[in-house]
């Protein structure tokens, strides 16, 4: 029996209306679908692109019923939407990825334990049920280490670097300031990586996986700064990363688009940092440099259509525009200079308010040679500081 395909004209629902939701909505609309976006923030960028907008808290039952009555299938733009909501919606519609996956990935402790159980390599870690367990965790894991909140962290938020014992005394009050019952933390060994890389995996409902080429990532202050595609690491390393990524996604056993982030150490080891069950910032280059973008794949997987054949058409280097940086690139001389660069593609997210650390847009530089794309990206990064 052929599985049912949701055809163009159907309404696709997305939970979360940030830039990832907006890029999903653009891909879906280009393919003839209508889009329903649900985000608690009425200013969320994707709401501007939606055929049906729902701006209400995720726990609002009336909105849930209306949303469910509107859509034919549901996806998410980030992993922190309530898993209960996804599971309720899954009684009525295909929901991809599954709520079970969100439950695992929403909590760093569950995620790390899941990876460990499946024999996947992660940095040594300890679990803190309360702040006063920090000294013991430090003696187990050693220093330097990163203490991270188990839930709701993103872009490096909710993380504390502990380099020496005295730092722990300063971190302690921040942990104790959390009054939420059941708040937990994870203490991770600080990995002295020489490179970060990531692999996008697209998994069909039938279990078949396809991967995008591994890409190199550079983060500054916990926020992605630069992605270069393809990775410049040796083929043996990137192939190994792709295998590990497929293994991790297969263990999660859900259809969807996933990004697996890695650390590559100087002694040649690969460790999984984390998995996102959705398109990822490090995959934005696929919009301009690939036959099929990560967002189109999200549409295809959601609708049960065959996933697209993946080809990198040229090299690419993507620079995020964070906070005020967006002004440099969108006004005056900066705008002219960026637009004059061959292969520069500007993406702005339409966020009304600029805030420190907020991702406002990105520029992807396309070139035949990776070195040239990267050189142009580095020029922009220098121009931004």
Q: Contact residues for ligand ATP (CB under 6 A)?
A: 123, 146, 153-157, 188, 190-191, 196, 219, 222, 261, 273-274
Binding-site size, Mg ion (CB under 5 A): 1
- Nearer to ligand ATP by Cβ, of 132 and 194: the residue is 194
Please answer whether residues 68 and 94 qualify as being in contact, where contact means their C-beta atoms are separated by less than 8 angstroms: no
Helices (H), the chain: 19-30, 61-70, 83-89, 99-105, 108-117, 134-141, 165-176, 235-252, 286-289, 294-303, 325-330, 332-339, 370-384
- Nearer to ligand ATP by Cβ, of 74 and 146: the residue is 146
Can you tell me the distance from the alpha carbon of 345 to that of 318, in angstroms, rounded to the nearest whole number? 9
- Nearer to Mg ion by Cβ, of 131 and 279: the residue is 279
- Dig out the tokens for 303 from the structure: 């609708």
Triad 202, 204, 208: Cα angle to 5°: 85
From the CB of 269, what's the least distance to ligand ATP, in Å?
Answer: 13
Please report, as residue ranges, which positions from 273 to 332 form the binding site for Mg ion (by CB under 5 A). 274
Can you tell me the distance from the alpha carbon of 69 to that of 229, in angstroms, rounded to the nearest whole number? 41
Stretch that binds Mg ion, among 51-59, 93-101, 231-239, 271-279 (CB under 5 A): 271-279
Please answer whether residues 20 and 38 qualify as being in contact, where contact means their C-beta atoms are separated by less than 8 angstroms: no
From Mg ion, ligand ATP, none, interface partner of 219 (C-beta below 5 to 8 A by class): ligand ATP
Per-residue mark of binding to Mg ion, 217-256 (x: CB under 5 A): ----------------------------------------
From ligand ATP, Mg ion, none, interface partner of 77 (C-beta below 5 to 8 A by class): none
Residues linked to residue 218 through DSSP beta bridges, in sequence order: 226
From the CB of 299, what's the least distance to Mg ion, in Å?
Answer: 24
Stretch that binds Mg ion, among 5-13, 114-122, 159-167, 266-274 (CB under 5 A): 266-274
Please answer whether residues 104 and 43 qualify as being in contact, where contact means their C-beta atoms are separated by less than 8 angstroms: no
Each as own residue / partner, the long-range contacts of residues 351-356 (CB below 8 Å, 24 or more positions apart, any chain) are 351/19, 351/43, 351/45, 352/43, 353/43, 354/323, 354/324, 354/326, 354/327, 355/323, 356/323, 356/324
Residues linked to residue 193 through DSSP beta bridges, in sequence order: 265
- Nearer to ligand ATP by Cβ, of 53 and 149: the residue is 149
From the CB of 273, what's the least distance to Mg ion, in Å?
Answer: 6
From the CB of 144, what's the least distance to Mg ion, in Å?
Answer: 18
- Nearer to ligand ATP by Cβ, of 261 and 374: the residue is 261
From ligand ATP, Mg ion, none, interface partner of 156 (C-beta below 5 to 8 A by class): ligand ATP
Stretch that binds Mg ion, among 33-41, 144-152, 192-200, 269-277 (CB under 5 A): 269-277
From the CB of 101, what's the least distance to ligand ATP, in Å?
Answer: 15
Strands 34-38 and 52-54 come out as: parallel
Please answer whether residues 138 and 145 qualify as being in contact, where contact means their C-beta atoms are separated by less than 8 angstroms: yes
Stretch that binds Mg ion, among 27-35, 159-167, 267-275, 311-319 (CB under 5 A): 267-275
Stretch that binds Mg ion, among 113-121, 270-278, 341-349, 353-361 (CB under 5 A): 270-278
Can you tell me the distance from the alpha carbon of 68 to that of 61, in angstroms, rounded to the nearest whole number? 10
From the CB of 4, what's the least distance to Mg ion, in Å?
Answer: 35
Which chain residues interact with Mg ion by CB under 5 A? Answer: 274
């Amino acid at each position: 029996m052929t599985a049912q395909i949701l055809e163009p004209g159907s309404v696709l629902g997305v939970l979360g209306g940030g830039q990832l939701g907006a890029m999903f909505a653009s891909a879906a609309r280009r393919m003839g679908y209508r889009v329903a976006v649900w985000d608690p923030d009425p200013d969320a960028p994707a709401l501007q692109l939606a055929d049906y907008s729902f701006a209400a808290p995720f726990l609002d039952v009336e909105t849930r019923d209306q949303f469910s009555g509107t859509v034919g299938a549901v996806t998410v733009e980030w992993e922190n939407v309530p898993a209960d909501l996804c599971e309720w919606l899954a009684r009525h519609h295909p929901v991809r990825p599954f709520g079970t996956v969100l439950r695992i990935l929403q909590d760093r402790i569950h995620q790390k334990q899941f990876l460990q159980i499946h024999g996947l390599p992660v940095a040594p870690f300890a679990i803190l049920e309360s702040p006063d367990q920090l000294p013991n965790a430090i003696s187990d894991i050693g220093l330097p280490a990163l203490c991270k909140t188990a839930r709701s962290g993103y872009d490096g938020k909710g993380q504390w670097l502990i380099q020496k014992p005295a730092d722990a005394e300063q971190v302690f009050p921040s942990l104790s300031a959390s009054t939420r019952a059941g708040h937990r933390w994870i203490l991770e060994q600080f990995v002295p990586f020489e490179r970060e890389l990531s692999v996008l995996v697209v998994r069909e409902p039938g279990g078949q996986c396809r991967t995008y080429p591994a890409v190199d990532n550079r983060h500054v202050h916990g926020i992605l700064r630069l992605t270069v595609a393809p990775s410049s690491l040796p083929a043996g390393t990137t192939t190994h990363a792709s295998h590990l990524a497929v293994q991790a996604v297969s263990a999660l056993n859900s259809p969807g688009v996933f990004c697996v982030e890695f650390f590559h150490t100087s002694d040649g080891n690969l460790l999984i940092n984390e998995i996102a069950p959705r398109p990822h910032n490090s995959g934005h280059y696929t919009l301009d440099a690939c036959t099929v973008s990560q967002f189109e794949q999200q549409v295809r997987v959601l609708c049960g259509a065959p996933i697209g054949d993946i080809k990198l058409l040229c090299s690419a280097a993507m620079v995020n525009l964070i906070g005020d940086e967006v002004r440099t690139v969108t006004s005056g001389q900066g705008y002219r200079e960026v637009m004059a660069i061959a292969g520069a593609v500007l993406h702005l997210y339409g966020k009304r308010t600029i805030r420190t650390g907020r991702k406002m847009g990105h520029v992807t530089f396309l070139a035949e040679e990776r070195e040239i794309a990267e050189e142009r990206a580095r020029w922009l990064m220098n121009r931004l500081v």
